[in-house]
Chain A
Amino acid sequence: MHALCLTLALVLSLLAASCQVAEPRLESVDATPAPGLAAPDDVTGASRTKHLGDAPAEAEAPPAQSGTARRMVYRAALGVEVARVEEAIESFLTAVRGMGGHLGARADGAVTVRVPAARFDDALAEARRLGRVLHQSLQANDVTKTYLDLEIRLDNARKSRERLLALLQKADKVEDILRIEEQVRRLTTEIEQAEGELKYLADQVAMSTVQVEFKAVAALVPERRRVASRFWWINQVGVERVRRDF
């Protein structure tokens, strides 16, 4: 009888573990939206699903609140034409470090940097300041739902593992012990994976990615034939005038 109860409990527990949706935990999260990019209006509704595997007391948790902060991942890619590539890269990296960011990758004239999400616009402005923008693309991905789903999956897996461990204490048949241990191992792997994914996502949210490809000015047109400006004073300034009239 005892073995039957144990088996039944084990089966129920496994069923619960396979259900990976639950009422989302809605603790406050802080995704600082980059100032220059708008975020979608509603993201919390998508993650509001029914909890199937937990005890009734937990299932009756307070409903999701509409004030959940969004988690946004910002990315940008720019091409900037500059007079001196190396100098521009060094200047850009110095500014990025000053913003609390860091270099992600560097190859030839291209650099990929990570900056705190709140400084995303500042990093873009700095890259634009260094020369003439040839192209740029900005991306803002809302990962709130993915994040919440992952948290729920993780929460469920942890709870299931706890229940299995409790059952393991009570199990006395070798066959039951082996089956429970197998499931504990599976859940442990799942927890580790979910934790890793959450960590990666949190990093993507906290730090925006800016990729800048610096290109040297194709050819400085040497002493292009000068056409007088319609503004008198502009004809008085410039390298040629400083050299001639100084």
Chain B
Amino acid sequence: MTSDPRTAAAALRRCLALLLPVLLAGCTSLGMDLPEGFLRLHASGWRAVSADDARLWVREFDDPERGTLAFWAATLTEEFTRNRGYAPVGASEVQDKAGRTGRLMEFAATVDGERCGYLIAVWSLGSKLRTVEFTARDEVYRRHVAAVRQGLATVR
């Protein structure tokens, strides 16, 4: 083993140079490009609101069961329709910024006596699930939903 301080410093620099990109890659923040009309909230996680109270939330959940995307999409639909009384409005595939395929589902619901629209996009990332949720009362939902759908392609 050499004890030359210059050699040790050089080795350390090489290690850092190798590790830095890896560390930075791990720090890629969860989120998406802000759709027009929304303001990012600097609370924990990635949340945004519009002036007319539409809410947009990007989250990740642990998926210890490692379910497939098809399984989670079917389960969500089942839970929302049978258990919570939501009405399915549409469903389709969606791609995130990295080109991964997710599932986009839209529902209509009545919550606290108010008709709402609800959109959820889900990506299965092995042991994690990434979700984007968007909800607002009916007319507000319709006003923003196109921009949100478009923004899903920027989810990271």
Which A residues lie at the B interface, using CB under 8 A?
81-84, 87-88, 91, 129-132, 217, 220-224, 226-227, 229, 231-234, 236-240, 242-243, 246
Contact check, A233 vs B89: say whether CB atoms are below 8 A apart.
Answer: no
Count of chain B residues with a beta carbon within 8 Å of a chain A beta carbon:
39
Task: Give B39-58 interface residues, CB cut-off 8 Å to A.
Answer: 47, 55, 57
Q: Is the CB of B84 within 8 A of A238?
A: yes
The answer to whether residues A220 and B47 also contact, given A243-B135, A246-B55 and a CB cut-off of 8 A, is: no
- Given known A-B contacts A238-B80, A242-B133, A246-B47, A220 and B63 have beta carbons under 8 A apart: no
**Measured CA separation A223–B142 after assembly (Å):** 21
Given contacts A222-B85, A238-B118, contact A233 B133 (CB under 8 A): no
Which residues of the partner chain B approach A87 to less than 8 Å between Cβ atoms? 142
Q: Chain A residues near B90: list those with CB within 8 A.
A: 91, 129-131
B62 sits at the interface (CB 8 A): yes
**A–B Cβ pairs within 8 angstroms, 21 of them:** A83-B107, A129-B91, A131-B89, A132-B81, A220-B85, A220-B87, A220-B109, A221-B85, A223-B112, A224-B83, A224-B85, A226-B83, A226-B84, A233-B62, A233-B129, A234-B76, A238-B133, A239-B86, A239-B116, A242-B118, A243-B55
Contact residues in A for B84 (Cβ distance below 8 Å): 224, 226, 238, 240
Question: Are B135 and A239 interface neighbours, CB within 8 A?
Answer: yes
Give chain A residues whose Cβ lies under 8 Å from the Cβ of B32: none
B3 at the interface (CB under 8 A from A): no
Interfacial chain B residues near A83, Cβ < 8 Å: 87-89, 107-108
Give the residue name and chain of the B residue nearest to A246 (CB). B55
Chain A interface, DSSP helix/strand/loop, else mixed: loop
Is A220 a contact of B110 with CB atoms below 8 Å? yes
- A81 to chain B minimum Cβ distance, whole angstroms, is 7
Contact bitstring B63-105, A, C-beta under 8 A = 1, else 0: 1010000000001100111011111111110000000000000
Query: Can you name the residue of chain B whose Cβ is closest to the Cβ of A217?
Result: B87
Q: How far is the CA of A236 from the CA of B133 in the complex (A)?
A: 11
Once the chains bind, are A223 and B111 in contact (CB under 8 Å)?
A: yes
Most A-side CB within 10 Å, residue of B87, B110, B116: B87
Whether the pair B61, A233 counts as a contact (CB closer than 8 A) is yes
CA separation between A82 and B131, bound complex, in Å?
A: 24
- Contact yes or no, B87 A81, CB < 8 A: yes
- Closest chain-A Cβ to B134's Cβ sits at a distance in Å of 8
Tell me if B120 is interfacial: C-beta within 8 Å of chain A.
yes
Complex Cα–Cα for A233 and B87 (A): 20
> In the complex the two chains form, is B55's CB within 8 Å of A242's CB?
yes
| Chain B proximity of A239: nearest CB distance (Å) | 5
| A84-B89, A220-B87 known; A242+B135 contact, CB < 8 A | yes
Residues on B with beta carbons closer than 8 Å to the beta carbon of A231: 65, 75
Does any Cβ of A come within 8 Å of B113's Cβ? yes
- The 9 lowest CB-CB distance pairs between A and B, nearest first, are A221-B85, A83-B108, A233-B61, A224-B85, A217-B87, A222-B110, A83-B87, A239-B111, A220-B110
* Contact partner, A237, options B92, B113, B131, Cβ 8 Å: B131
State how many angstroms separate the Cβ of B95 from the closest Cβ of chain A: 17
CA distance A221 to B135 in the complex (A): 18
Query: How far is A130 from B112 in the complex, measured between Cα atoms in Å?
Result: 25
- Closest A residue to B41 using CB positions: A246
Let me know if A223 and B85 touch, CB within 8 A: yes
